[in-house]
Amino acid sequence: MEKNLDTLIAQAQQIMANSAMTHEQAMTSLASLPGQFASVLNLPDGFAEMEAEGLLCNLTEGYLPYCPRYILPDYQKLMDEGCRFLRLKPPTTLAEAILTLEIFYRHVPSVTHYPVYLGRVDKMLEPFMDSVSEAEARQQIKQFMFFLSRSIPDSYCHMNIGPEETLAGNYILDAEMELQEAIPSITMLYDEKITSDAFSEKALSCAQLCAKPSFANSPAYQAANPFPYGIASCYNALPLAGGAFTLSRVMISRIAEKAKDSNEFFEILPKAVNTLCQFMDEKIRYLVEDSHFFTTNFLVQEGFIKLENFTGMVGIVGLNECVNTLLAKDGIASRYAQSQEADDLSHKILAAMNQHLEAYHSKYCDVTGNHFLLHAQVGIAEDIGITPGIRIAIGEEPELYTHLKHECKFQKYFPSGVGEIFPFDETAKNNVGAILDIVKGSFDQGMQYFSTYSDTCDVVRVTGYLVKKSDIEKLSRGEAVGQANATWGYYASKNQHALERKTESL
């Protein structure tokens, strides 16, 4: 305990001495420290050892759970009924609707201390569009987007639009093309039968300027998740009026390093998955039974979220390195995504992960049949030499259509979120119809999530979040910037070469 105390003090001093942190960033970092050292949990046998080996990862959640990691409130209920706790009446004008959301967002917690889900904003604002002129509506929505970029200093906050084309959705895209800010992240809930080509192409034009919106294959997500869902944080598909208690990781690439061959890997994997699930269940038990969140928080008391709509996510990273390591140990001269043997092994690993999760029963995950969901996690700054999720390592990307076909094979394993990023060169800005054809074809073949931007963008998608390259440059000079994600982007650019991914041409 004394050693832990010394480490805590040292980390606190590092935070306080960091000139590249704003006051708020330093405050939230300091507030998170005690939970990294003080545990109230009954850890399962073997967890501490596996975590110390790097086989399992708690994703900086700490060991003192006090609120769910990701919360997706029922914002439509707020629009329809207002909020007693915040003394908000149902809005009657566009200005009131925007102000109501701005106030409410301030009180939605998460692992980042900011809301990770802003709702289907175009759908919520659309009923109020006829309360003002077009010019006034455009100005109010632009101010709203500007406010979000300055008041929520974290691009894990995520707005959804679509699938229907709306005036509000068009004005949001227009504002984003003008502002070109990293906050908020946006996903188009795309459905080819509902979403017009004109609206989709406008969204892709916006993405070529500021790396958003991404496109989610809405029918595929809805088929995989038999509940109303939203896209939160990086690209996490989660139940509305609920969310995720926790997200923890199985580091499959490190399990591969530990195993002598693929046979031993598949012997270690079930124990690792089961141990992590037990740990997650203990975190959930404490949060539900011992903390006061689900009994006293106004979001619960007023029905904006419900306990039965929460689940847990098991993330993986490094399928690329995992497959490469096992192929080499099995004496097979191939690499990830480059042969049938590599694909067969990839399928076997992902199928095994889902099989082990399906076999584990979690008491409080009612909405997902009392099972945890598999998630392709985007990685963290410390993941040196580990590729996010199931992506192909930067520097080894094949030509575009081979890359797309590979993604289509494997994204189906991830009901709670997966994604790949495809930057295009400057010429794509004049041919977004061709990008839309790529999205349509990929979604028809099973891809679930597609992100793109132009190589000339200041705003870029790093792994799953957005940052400004200009902010990364400021951090490299020791200057503070307002967006917390810029710090992770800085390390991802240095350690994972995240800004060096292959640029495509049309």
Alpha helical stretches, state H, 211-308: 218-224, 252-258, 262-285, 293-296, 298-301
Beta pairing, strands 236-239 & 229-232: antiparallel
Structure tokens at 454: 């132009």
The pLDDT of residue 3 is: 55
CA angle in degrees (0–180, nearest 5) for 203-407-162: 25
Q: Which residue has the tokens 């030509």?
A: 399
Distance separating alpha carbons of residues 164 and 198, to the nearest angstrom: 11
Structure tokens at 142: 């632009």
What φ, ψ does residue 83 adopt, rounded to 5°? -145, 120
**Angle of helix 167-179 versus helix 197-210 axis, rounded to 10:** 20
Contact criterion met (CB below 8 Å) for 376 and 414:
yes
Sign of CA dihedral 212, 491, 324, 344: negative
- Of the candidates 201, 138, 135, the residue with the CA atom closest to the CA atom of residue 172: 138
Q: Which residue has the tokens 């690993």?
A: 349
Count CB atoms within 10 A of the CB of residue 226. 12
Contact criterion met (CB below 8 Å) for 374 and 252:
no
Domain boundaries, given as residue ranges, for the chain = 69-235+419-506, 247-398
- Of the candidates 402, 381, 371, the residue with the CA atom closest to the CA atom of residue 467: 381
Residues of the chain with confidence (pLDDT) below 50: 1-2
Q: Which residue has the tokens 């012997």?
A: 267
Half-sphere exposure of 292 (CA within 13 A, CB side): 3
What φ, ψ does residue 237 adopt, rounded to 5°? -85, 115
What pTM does this model have? 0.95
Q: What is the pLDDT of residues 240-280, one digit of tens each?
A: 999 999 999 999 999 999 999 999 999 999 999 999 999 99
Contact criterion met (CB below 8 Å) for 268 and 258:
yes
Distance separating alpha carbons of residues 121 and 98, to the nearest angstrom: 10
- Of the candidates 154, 202, 221, 161, the residue with the CA atom closest to the CA atom of residue 181: 154
Peptide bond into 163 cis (omega under 30): yes
Structure tokens at 359: 């076999």
Alpha helical stretches, state H, 332-427: 340-359, 400-410
Q: Which helix (H) or strand (E) holds 34?
A: helix 23-37
Distance separating alpha carbons of residues 208 and 391, to the nearest angstrom: 21
- Of the candidates 110, 463, 483, the residue with the CA atom closest to the CA atom of residue 318: 463
Contact criterion met (CB below 8 Å) for 273 and 353:
yes
Q: Which residue has the tokens 């004005």?
A: 171
Contact criterion met (CB below 8 Å) for 155 and 483:
yes
Burial category of 292 from C-beta neighbours within 10 Å (exposed 0-12, middle 13-18, buried 19 and up): exposed
Contact criterion met (CB below 8 Å) for 84 and 302:
yes
